[in-house]
Structure 1
Amino acid sequence: MNIHEYQARELLIKFGVPVPAAIVVTNPMDAAKAFDKLVTRQHGGGMAVVKAQVHAGGRGKGGGVRMVRSSDEARKAATEILTRPLVTPQTPPEGVPVTKLMVAAGVEIAKEYYLAIAVDRKNSAPIIVASAEGGMDIEQVAREKPEAIIREPISPIAGLAPYQARKIAYRLGFKGQQVRMAGKIMHQLSDLFLKCDCSLAEINPLIVTKPTDEHPDGVVMAVDAKINFDENALIRQEDIRSLEDPTEVNADEAHASRFGLSYIKLDGSIGCLVNGAGLAMATMDIIKLHGGEPANFLDVGGSASEEAVTEAFRIILQDPKVNGVLVNIFGGIAKCDTIARAIVVAAKEVGFTVPLVVRLEGTNVEEARKILEEAKAEIPTMQIGGDLTEAAKMITAATAA
């Protein structure tokens, strides 16, 4: 699950990480008022930044991040961002609408760093990723200067050890009081990551401000943050679940999740209904192998009910690009005959006007095939595949005509 930057900053504040003051607004006049409030606060410095709040990276490249030095500039920047779709490398080509802005106090930056905690699946543990090359695409840094990336696994139980924080801080080049401040932020980020069941907690950039009389070594703080959460853990994270913005979630994906389905829309024309994520991936691969293009990833899970299968068909068929559907079920926990009956009921309720190819294997498969054979007259577009290769060839041939 993703959240907005302003929400990520609020979580950082909750765990003690220092961030510049910010105000969330929804219209240009409030953006101007926010600027006036912020420049009088600490770190204001007579400038602020207006940021689009959408679930996409690369906002600056798309014009969704603007530096402003007056309330009038803030109003104009807000008007421009709110009145046109934001197009970035991580949005669809047509862009996404912007309905919220964050106006944040500007800071005088002396140096930028990158700091994140992610899940290292190879070592089955969280890992800190840090670099003195902050403010840039970390993927680009990893490709061009891999030696600039620091990686440090941490305990999923105990979190980050003090010696690890000091070691990373020194390797990043922090000096004097900066070492203590940076180490503290690393501990706070580790605490947030573990307690909130994060899959990613990223600060980019982590900055050091320019020296002042009060802070001769500057202040280490977070300027931008991105936090993602493990959806499987949301059952114990009700406060986190409440942060989800339904306007940022694909309507079909949200519809699917209400029925226990995992659905992701793709660009092809052959709809897929499969039980099991691995089998779904293999099904999409074999469709492409035989010249077709999958229209979706859809996993109905191991215990699909008639209601869930019906909704799965409904979601697939409302995509205007879909001109055929392949059902690929390996019966285990969900028996094949149960799935077959669900397919028949769903096909009657939803109605099929496009080719339907069904491949079943596993528990009670013979009874399932009998059910489907008896339903052929009622579902004239249905064909039954003997194995996955045959089924893929049948659906690609049927949709190529």
Structure 2
Amino acid sequence: MNLHEYQGKSILTKYGVPIQNGYAADTKEEALAMYDKLAEETGSGFAVIKAQIHAGGRGKGGGVKLAKNRDEAQGYINDILGMQLKTPQTPGGMEGPGKQVNKILVAEDAYAPDFDACKEYYVSILMDRARKQNVIIHSTQGGMDIEAVAEETPHLVHKTYIDPELGMQPFNAREVAFNLGLSGTAFKNMTKFIYKLYAAYIGADAALIEINPTLHNANDEIIAVDCKFSVDANALYRHKDIAEMRDKTEEDAVEVEAGEYGLNYVNLDGNVGCMVNGAGLAMATMDIIKLSGGEPANFLDVGGTADAERVEKAFRMILSDEKVEAILINIFGGIVRCDRVAQGVIDAYKNIGDIKVPIIVRLQGTNAVEAKQMIDESGLNVRSAITLQDAADVVKDVLS
């Protein structure tokens, strides 16, 4: 589950990680009041107005602005709050529809008092699944796209792996500070920063914490200026406070709806809708579609109770995607009987009405023969298949 910058920073502060202070607001009046409050606290009219959306590259789309006085702050607040922000990471990139900004962060100018003396670094923590270890990725090239840095200057991207049995050790933190070229007070503060950041990563069951930029200011302080924070959704039962931070408006509406019905749905870019029971079978189904020349439009696991209601809901979600040109239903009847699934497909088809795209159904397992007969005799625009390859070949045929 992704968090907004201000939410991620609120978690970091609980672990003592120094952050760029600020206040979140969702109305223009509240945002201006937060600017006044911040100006009184800092004694400066400088403030950064930041759009809060689940996407990076906000500055490239005009979603991050430095205001030097109250009038500028008010202007930027008016411009950013409610705007349709397009970044390289929003759906469709800079040419796509973007995301609406419903909340902004009014933050202090962390680069004061000497901007030229400040240095920016990149620091992130995530799981390296191949090595089965957490890794701290860090670079002196902060404030830039780490993908571009890795491609163009890979020697500037460093990785420090953490032994899962030992956990974070002093030499790990010192290695990061050394790779970033720090010394003296800044070196000590960076090691403390890394220690606390890793504690937040472990304590919050995070999947990713990315601080870009991590700021080294003129006073040798190390500060988290930005924060991308993602939490392992499987661990949210241990973090009720973090679970309450979920912003459904930032998520795909169909995926949110699917979750409410107990369906596992992920929207993709292809043209073949998939309805499968079981994650492994769903992955195999998508593979065979690609091998047959198609592209899966979604990942959809209806689970072990593929009754008429769930099948109908799954149908409607798949059909809401205008790119879908065919639907492949692939069900293995172990716990659930295939004839019940077939009846669910038939009932759902009739309830929905006129379905324009062809439907291919492959049912294997308990009562599979009876299920195929039911599909074949239904009189509906539904074609049955026996093997997975047969189903993929039918999909290829109807798309050609």
CA–CA distance in 2 between the matches of 1:198 and 1:157? 18
Cα offset for 1:343?
2.8
Structure 2 residue identity aligned to 1:394: V
CA–CA distance in 1 between the matches of 2:318 and 2:30? 42
CA–CA distance in 2 between the matches of 1:139 and 1:392? 36
Cα offset for 1:157?
5.5
In the alignment, structure 1 residue 281 sits paired with structure 2 residue 289: no
Identical-residue share of aligned pairs (%): 44
Q: For residues 173-228 of structure 1, what are the alpha-carbon distances to aligned partners after superposition, in whole Å with 9 as ceiling and x for unaligned?
A: 222122222111211111111121111011111111113xxxxxx21111000110
In the alignment, structure 1 residue 247 sits paired with structure 2 residue 246: no
CA–CA distance in 2 between the matches of 1:303 and 1:266? 24
In the alignment, structure 1 residue 73 sits paired with structure 2 residue 75: no
**Equivalent in the alignment of 2:59:** 60
Q: Check conservation: 2:333, 2:368, Cα contact below 8 A.
A: no
In the TM superposition, what are the counterparts of 1:334-353 in structure 2 within 5 Å? 334=336, 336-351=338-353, 353=355
Structure 1 gap segments, 5+ residues each: 212-217
Describe the shift of the 1:240–1:71 C-alpha distance in structure 2 as closer, same or farther (beyond 3 A).
Answer: same
**Equivalent in the alignment of 1:102:** 105
Structure 1 residue identity aligned to 2:23: I
In the alignment, structure 1 residue 358 sits paired with structure 2 residue 357: no
> 142, 146, 150: which is aligned to 1:134?
142
Point out the more displaced range, 113-122 or 78-87. 78-87
Q: Check conservation: 2:375, 2:384, Cα contact below 8 A.
A: no
**Equivalent in the alignment of 2:39:** 39
**Equivalent in the alignment of 2:311:** 309
Cα offset for 1:352?
5.5
**Equivalent in the alignment of 2:269:** 267
Question: How many pairs does the alignment contain?
Answer: 390
Point out the more displaced range, 97-106 or 230-239. 230-239
Q: Check conservation: 1:125, 1:156, Cα contact below 8 A.
A: yes
**Equivalent in the alignment of 1:90:** 89
CA–CA distance in 1 between the matches of 2:392 and 2:181? 56
CA–CA distance in 2 between the matches of 1:146 and 1:194? 27
Q: For residues 118-142 of structure 1, what are the alpha-carbon distances to aligned partners after superposition, in whole Å with 9 as ceiling and x for unaligned?
A: 0110111211111121111111111
Q: Check conservation: 1:159, 1:194, Cα contact below 8 A.
A: no
CA–CA distance in 1 between the matches of 2:293 and 2:175? 53
Q: Check conservation: 1:355, 1:399, Cα contact below 8 A.
A: no
SS at structure 2 position matched to 1:243: coil
CA–CA distance in 2 between the matches of 1:334 and 1:115? 48
In the TM superposition, what are the counterparts of 1:122-271 in structure 2 within 5 Å? 122-156=130-164, 158-211=166-219, 218-271=220-273
**Equivalent in the alignment of 1:398:** 398
Q: For residues 272-312 of structure 1, what are the alpha-carbon distances to aligned partners after superposition, in whole Å with 9 as ceiling and x for unaligned?
A: 11233343334334334444343222122355455433321
Q: For residues 320-339 of structure 1, what are the alpha-carbon distances to aligned partners after superposition, in whole Å with 9 as ceiling and x for unaligned?
A: 44342111223445554453
**Equivalent in the alignment of 2:324:** 322
Cα offset for 1:350?
3.4
Q: Check conservation: 2:362, 2:388, Cα contact below 8 A.
A: yes
CA–CA distance in 1 between the matches of 2:312 and 2:238? 29
Q: Check conservation: 2:160, 2:175, Cα contact below 8 A.
A: no
CA–CA distance in 2 between the matches of 1:155 and 1:386? 48
Describe the shift of the 1:264–1:221 C-alpha distance in structure 2 as closer, same or farther (beyond 3 A).
Answer: same
CA–CA distance in 1 between the matches of 2:66 and 2:369? 64
SS at structure 1 position matched to 2:172: helix
Q: For residues 31-75 of structure 1, what are the alpha-carbon distances to aligned partners after superposition, in whole Å with 9 as ceiling and x for unaligned?
A: 333223223334x65411111100111111111111110111111
Structure 2 residue identity aligned to 1:313: F
Point out the more displaced range, 221-230 or 106-115. 106-115
What is the CA RMSD across the aligned residues, in angstroms? 2.2
Cα offset for 1:104?
0.4
SS at structure 1 position matched to 2:107: strand
CA–CA distance in 2 between the matches of 1:112 and 1:194? 25
CA–CA distance in 2 between the matches of 1:386 and 1:376? 12
Structure 2 residue identity aligned to 1:261: L
Structure 2 residue identity aligned to 1:60: G
CA–CA distance in 1 between the matches of 2:307 and 2:234? 21
CA–CA distance in 2 between the matches of 1:338 and 1:190? 50
Q: Check conservation: 2:45, 2:70, Cα contact below 8 A.
A: no
Q: Check conservation: 1:340, 1:369, Cα contact below 8 A.
A: no
CA–CA distance in 1 between the matches of 2:270 and 2:135? 36
